[in-house]
Structure 1
Amino acid sequence: MRDASAQELLLLSALQQCRIELAAARGDEAERAATRRDLEAARHREEALQLELVRERERTEAVRLVLQALLMSLWRFGLRRRLFRSRIARLGRETPDEGPQSARHPVLLAEARRVLGVMVRPDPEA
């Protein structure tokens, strides 16, 4: 009889140990799942930041293009407005309507209006 109760105690002890290990494994899995979610969120933030960086570079390029058009339209008596407008119109036609370069359109318009002294409406995205 003693052997049977000793075996039962060993089995109960082994069962208790298995339950403890299972609980620890479940806790570790929950931590790994949380880490995976954090990594996925970080990946999405990185992609969004890279896209915003590309857009910002395109907006900067648009300002550079407006300045270049301004410089090419200056002569000794001042700004040749018709030449400047035609250069900006050409830049607008050459700029794609989709993709990252499309961010140039509002900047080209706003900066050209600023150069020409036309009232600039506030940008709702800014």
Structure 2
Amino acid sequence: MDAYQQGLETGRAKERQWSRRAQAARVEHLERQIQTLREELDAKNRRFEVDGDQAVTVDGYGYRWKGPGTLEVGDRVLLPENYVSALRHGSGPFPGTVTELGTTYTGTLSTIISRAPAVPGQIG
């Protein structure tokens, strides 16, 4: 009976291990599907230009840039004050970083004031 119990426990342990692996594989597959769908939706909805101005994402929010030149990911910019920025940064313009070219935001975009001065001690 001891060998039977040991075999039963070993079988149950293996079954639990296989079940966890199968669940992890299903989750990984679903996450890849979700990522693919997000990328497809993003590609359909992303706009890079709004009324002739460049559209960019700055720290997760959509803005427009009138120039001069074009902005690239990593560029530092000066943004206009808004309700939230006034609470977080105080009154007046505040700095941000371009995190993506284009935006998927479909509402009205605020205009970036200017490129931000270089941060002392930072390269680029």
TMscore range, shorter length: 0.3 to 0.5
Write 1 or 2 for the structure with the bigger share of helix. Answer: 1
- Give the number of the structure with larger relative contact order, counting CA–CA contacts within 8 Å between residues 6 or more apart: 2
Q: What is the TM-score when the length of structure 1 is the normalising length?
A: 0.42
Q: What is the TM-score when the length of structure 2 is the normalising length?
A: 0.43
